[in-house]
A and B are shown apart, each in its own frame.
Chain A
Amino acid sequence: MEIFEGILSGFEVAFSPINLLYVTLGVMMGTVFGLLPGIGPTAAVALLLPMTFTLEPATGVIMLAGIYYGSMYGGRIPAILMKLPGDASSVLTTLDGYPLTQQGRAGPALGITAIGSFLGGTFAIIGLTILAPTLAHVGRSFAPPELFLLMLFGLMMIVFIGSGGVLKSLIMAALGILIATVGMDPITGTSRLTFGSYSLSAGIGIVPLAIGLFGVGEVMNNIARGKEGRIKVPKMDRIMPTWSDWLLSRMAILRASVLGFIVGILPGGGGTVSSVLAYGAEKQFSKQPEKFGKGAVDGLAATETADNASSNSAFVPLLTLGVPPNPVLALIFGALLLQNITPGPQLVDEHPDVFYGVIASMYIGNTILLILNLPLIRVFVAILKVPQTVLGPLVILIAICGVYAVSNSMFDVLLMLIFGIMGFILRRFSFDLAPLILGFILGPMLEVEWRRAMIMSGGSAGIFLDRTASLVILVMLVVTLVLIAYAALRKRRNIIAQVKSEAMGE
């Protein structure tokens, strides 16, 4: 009953004209930014983040959520039409999406992507509506030791599932935590790691860091590579999938919705993991597994449905436990913090308008995404014809305006450039940047909860073992770490074997 009343009040918030306007704007802008090659959802949300700071908190998050799933869908268009994945999860899209384009079926491929995304997203939001308030209730019983371990667990999962190797990902997480300590100590107010710079004493903001690493770094990468200016876009006839496409995909969509929802709740389990699992599972279920990778509509439907289902269910740990499970939600977390709202178990009581408003807006946003995307696919495709040489500099200009808008400080623009260069170099050395941004967001909370736990226990680490809830999380954390170590050792052994075989060959 409480959930029903809450979601009704959420719909009141979400259906207000201003929120409807901003969720539509968010979906459209997200789709356009997602279209830009190399600009994935993280960069899209980072670049558009500053636009939400002048809005009411609920409106801001509603818009960011719209940008998030808009950019997820936008990234699918170049992946399907030109085999140009904008982010890791859309690599899976290219497997069957691009062969379908080659067979002259680009329209139905985009159509089934939009429909699968809508159905998977809606399934996940229904799950989120039911599960989130209950989980928030459980979360309210957590004290500093549990909160510390929960955040640490979230960070470790990102490292474990990250794309840059465990050792490098751990280094990035430590670097992120360290960057977050620059500025005032949250408890004593002492200046830390500012190296005498007055401008650094207020700390480093999420906006210059995120826009620098993901936006500027990516544009720099494109410029450094000297990419082709104009992209050839294939022609499209019909958009809607055929009846046989639908019959072939309907069970795939259902299975992928469930799988995507479950995987999305787990820290680090966002888009890519859910898409990989759904694709693998569907190949097992399919009567024609040999078609996978050669234009299987059900394969495409599975990856896209799971991807969107997991993106939506990823809001569960963010809204209920205050643990962002992926870099995009870490940015949304940062946006809420800047609005003086701390996501977590208390959110449902302290800011029910934000909690239920965001959930309700997701139903609307997903519907708007479908309504806009099916008729506007040709418009979005036309945007792809704009030469890339023009897009990069425009993104930089938007980035400068966005960073300046948040703090009215050109020092932050300089920081953005520095982080952009850093992101460019780190990416070249195969460092995954997701753990860095997660470390940066979770770092201050990890520190505060750790210090509170230490004060509570009089400096005894035994507090993590004395409490049942923290002991359970600790066991989960240790098991994860053992798995990380095992995976790393196996990878290392493979590399050693490879080096040895190369040496033998020579």
Chain B
Amino acid sequence: MISETSTPEGENTDVGFRETWPHLLMCLCLVLLFTSTAVTAWNLGLGRLSSPAAGLWPLLASIAGLGLSVTLLVTVLLGTHDRAAELFTDVHWGPTVIFIAAVLGFLALYPLVGFLVAAIPLTFVLLKYAAGATWIPSIAISLVAPVLLYFIFREVLNVRF
């Protein structure tokens, strides 16, 4: 529980939890991931050591990952984990979300209009809204760069876009 009290102890607990919960969440995600792969690997069948089946190796890797993730979780709970991580304090979320959305938009557009037409708005959005370039360079580069890359990959490297 996050403490809402205004006493010094309450503030310390609050700050401590605020610093710790991202690490806890990360550990839980890892535990969940390795557990799900362990279960899937188990269901694939393990065979015997003399003739291992398809699931044995992924199960071993999952168990190793799971054990290590649980150990990391324990270090976080004990407060002895590496606290040097920069986390997300300096992240500008707007440009980051625009970046991801632009690439997803490109992937959605590509089957409809092909590489060249989809790459122009992608480059423009990345330059203007994610990277914060000014209008004229954004327009100029988003028209020139995709054409240049299209030429290099299509004509020189024989890639079929």
Contacts and interface: CB of A to CB of B under 8 A. Distances in A.
Tell me whether A and B are bound partners: yes
B87 A408 contact: no
B58 A495 contact: no
Interface string A167-203: 1101100110110010001011010110100000000
Interface string A381-402: 0000001111011101110110
Nearest to B84: A430
Given A223-B95, A417-B100, A193 B58 contact: yes
Contacts of B99: 219-220, 223
A397 to B, nearest CB: 6
Interface in B108-125: 110-111, 115, 119, 122-123
B159 interface: yes
Interface string A467-506: 0000000000000000000000000100110010000001
A460 B107 CA distance: 50
Interface stretch (A224-232, A285-293, A300-308, A329-337): A224-232
Contacts of A51: 157
A413 B19 CA distance: 34
A450 interface: yes
Contacts of B55: 192
Contacts of B81: 495
Nearest to B86: A428
Contact of B104 (A175, A404, A417, A425): A417
A54 B157 contact: yes
B145 interface: yes
A455 interface: yes
Contacts of A229: 132-133
B135 interface: no
Contacts of B1: none
Contacts of B153: 401, 404-405
Q: For the complex, would chain B's binding face be called helix, strand, loop or mixed by DSSP majority?
A: helix
Contacts of A188: 53-54
Contacts of A220: 96, 99
B51 A455 contact: yes
Nearest to A388: B131
A187 B54 CA distance: 8
B99 to A, nearest CB: 5
A393 B52 contact: no
B61 A443 contact: yes
Contacts, number: 179
Q: How large is the interface on A (under 10, 10 to 19, 20 to 34, 35 or more residues)?
A: 35 or more
Nearest to A454: B49
B107 A410 contact: yes
A429 interface: yes
B17 interface: no
A12 interface: no
Contact of B145 (A54, A226, A394): A394
B145 A430 contact: no
Contacts of B160: 408
Given A396-B103, A414-B107, A428-B85, A401 B123 contact: no
Given A226-B92, A393-B126, A405-B153, A174 B61 contact: yes
B53 A410 contact: no
Best-buried of A175, A459, A499 by chain B (most CB within 10 Å): A175
A192 B96 contact: no
A171 B65 contact: yes
A224 B87 CA distance: 12
Best-buried of B64, B68, B87, B122 by chain A (most CB within 10 Å): B68
B68 A181 contact: no
Contact of B48 (A171, A394, A430, A459): A459
B123 A447 contact: no
B133 A389 contact: yes
Interface in A317-367: none
A239 interface: no
Interface in B62-104: 62, 64-65, 68-69, 71-72, 75, 79-88, 90-93, 95-96, 99-100, 103-104
A255 interface: no
Interface of B: 12, 22-23, 26, 30, 33-34, 37, 40-41, 44, 48-55, 57-58, 61-62, 64-65, 68-69, 71-72, 75, 79-88, 90-93, 95-96, 99-100, 103-104, 106-107, 110-111, 115, 119, 122-123, 126-127, 130-133, 137, 141, 145-146, 149, 152-153, 157-161
Given A389-B131, A393-B131, 14 more contacts: A167-B68, A170-B68, A171-B30, A190-B53, A192-B55, A226-B132, A387-B133, A397-B119, A404-B115, A428-B87, A429-B26, A430-B84, A455-B50, A459-B48
6 contacts: A167-B68, A177-B61, A223-B96, A225-B90, A390-B131, A492-B75
